[in-house]
Homo-oligomer: A and B are copies of this chain.
């Protein structure tokens, strides 16, 4: 049976929204091309995201751009080289390779959630259910890890390994300190990015829903863990969200609770105010794409399902006709994981500075070499030992020597070589690693979701009832016929509308009925027809995409009408 997914995908292809990439070469799974209409719709969605997440937070959230290709060191630090993988099995006969959990789900009825299962657990399931190669019935290998990073090399040396980023986040983490400094060391601060990312899925299915290359829209929001309060939380405290929490999932609850952001925070269901704030904003954003709130919810990920960097994650999911609940955004409380890792791997100070309300006095140890003691037992090394003692951090040296002699660069330093005295120093603040809340969206999937929710049929015809401000083309202009000056008049109206910055199409091809149908299919909210009466009294008809109703208005009111319609 043809379902909505098939219909939307067919419409997308027929009218130039999106279609599989490289179709003339047989296509390549997991890659999508966007045609003229899809590119406009996608950019409108991206710009709406900018409005909700960046412009609204001007002075707090800054958009940046970093490359798709990054050196391997970045992803060793981020943990992706070790952890960003799926389990794979290979057929011992035909050597085809499959994603282990998909293969199991395909062949075993009513199997439990497989996300987070270990290789050993998957091996047991495969063995117990006698799962075999779906192509040739061959026996399967043991499960192994397949890393999902696309790999390449930079420059003429093959050992110079690099990866294509699977998230934009790392470009934000490694730039945090730099931009924090440029922006005069204020916290909280958010860095945002809209850009391509790549994930080398083993065998992506689900067309536009699961892509190997897609556009991520992501914020890394840095805050002081000792001041985790969100100063904008009052704006969303009373917003209701639908949550399916970890506890509810474990107890097999299927229906979400409806709860205000304020309650979710005071009940500690959401562990960060900023995370909760962005979840509320995300719900509003997705609603404006045309998805009603009762078709959305937030699903907490279980500990074994969460990405390696996250202390708490909610997936924002929406209901799709064929695919059920599908993730449209992820909300991860990444704590100080990423900055700590990058600090350790780069040796670069990535801390922020927290000013004390009143400066603190502190007793600081100073190391004084005991020359007599050194001379007694160290002979020729006196000078070297004295210099080592002076160059070391006194606090660390003191701690080390409490357990007896230590060796520094091959030279023994005994406790009696050093005396410590204390100095009093005034500290204005202290360094710390900020915590991070991350909302993260995929733009292509939102394009599909928006189209599925806009898809209607009426009298056997297709209407794409896109929200007005998302429609690729706002207005279509038609001459009723192409003679008697109507075409020229219609072109005049078309140019007038465009001069006001409204994206319009001119169409003089085929019957008016067919032109209305084409405009409906690409979701153009209004169609203006120039007819013989226009030539008499300078009025035009405006037809509404959704109601098919027509009104007639004077030309000199047209622009005002359009502006208020699209406001």
Q: State in angstroms the CA–CA spacing of A268 and B2 once bound together.
A: 57
CB atoms of A212 and B16 under 8 A apart? no
A529 at the interface (CB under 8 A from B): no
A28 at the interface (CB under 8 A from B): yes
CB atoms of B213 and A34 under 8 A apart? no
Nearest B residue to A42, CB-CB: B65
A308 at the interface (CB under 8 A from B): no
A142 at the interface (CB under 8 A from B): no
A323 at the interface (CB under 8 A from B): no
CB atoms of B152 and A74 under 8 A apart? no
User: Which of A174-182, A383-391, A542-550 lies at the binding interface?
Assistant: A174-182
A171 at the interface (CB under 8 A from B): yes
A66 at the interface (CB under 8 A from B): yes
Q: State in angstroms the CA–CA spacing of A171 and B195 once bound together.
A: 18
CB atoms of B346 and A65 under 8 A apart? no
CB atoms of A34 and B65 under 8 A apart? yes
Q: State in angstroms the CA–CA spacing of A178 and B16 once bound together.
A: 8
A36 at the interface (CB under 8 A from B): yes
User: Which of A56-64, A356-364, A452-460 lies at the binding interface?
Assistant: A56-64
Shortest C-beta distance, A400 to chain B (Å), equals 28
CB atoms of B174 and A24 under 8 A apart? yes
Nearest B residue to A191, CB-CB: B36
CB atoms of A16 and B346 under 8 A apart? no
CB atoms of A182 and B69 under 8 A apart? no
Nearest B residue to A184, CB-CB: B509
Given contacts A16-B183, A19-B178, A24-B174, contact A33 B156 (CB under 8 A): no
A422 at the interface (CB under 8 A from B): no
CB atoms of A34 and B156 under 8 A apart? no
Given contacts A24-B346, A152-B150, A342-B24, contact A64 B88 (CB under 8 A): no
A83 at the interface (CB under 8 A from B): no
Shortest C-beta distance, A47 to chain B (Å), equals 11
Within 8 A of B (CB), among A494-530: 498, 503-506, 509
Q: State in angstroms the CA–CA spacing of A32 and B67 once bound together.
A: 7
User: Which of A127-135, A197-205, A554-562 lies at the binding interface?
Assistant: A197-205
Contact pick for A59, options B38, B67, B506, CB 8 Å: B506
CB atoms of B63 and A196 under 8 A apart? no
Contact pick for A64, options B35, B58, B213, CB 8 Å: B35
Q: Which residues of B contact A156 (CB under 8 A)?
A: 88, 97, 146, 202-203
CB atoms of A73 and B25 under 8 A apart? yes
Q: State in angstroms the CA–CA spacing of A136 and B197 once bound together.
A: 40
Q: State in angstroms the CA–CA spacing of A183 and B15 once bound together.
A: 9
Q: State in angstroms the CA–CA spacing of A399 and B264 once bound together.
A: 80
Nearest B residue to A342, CB-CB: B24
Contact pick for A152, options B35, B42, B164, CB 8 Å: B164
Type the 1/0 row for A1-18, where 1 means its CB is closer than 8 Å to any CB of B.
000000000000011100
A317 at the interface (CB under 8 A from B): no
Within 8 A of B (CB), among A86-127: 88, 97
Q: State in angstroms the CA–CA spacing of A151 and B69 once bound together.
A: 12
Contact pick for A65, options B33, B69, B97, B503, CB 8 Å: B33
Shortest C-beta distance, A567 to chain B (Å), equals 12
Within 8 A of B (CB), among A145-203: 146, 150-157, 162, 164, 171, 174-175, 177-179, 182-184, 195-196, 198, 200-203
A68 at the interface (CB under 8 A from B): yes
Shortest C-beta distance, A10 to chain B (Å), equals 13
A254 at the interface (CB under 8 A from B): no
Q: Which residues of B contact A59 (CB under 8 A)?
A: 505-506
Q: Which residues of B contact A196 (CB under 8 A)?
A: 67-68, 195-196
Sampled A-B contacts (8; CB under 8 Å): A22-B174, A24-B342, A25-B174, A29-B155, A35-B182, A36-B64, A68-B164, A195-B196
**10 nearest A-B pairs in the assembled complex, by CB-CB distance:** A36-B62, A34-B65, A24-B348, A24-B346, A97-B156, A16-B182, A67-B213, A31-B67, A33-B66, A152-B152
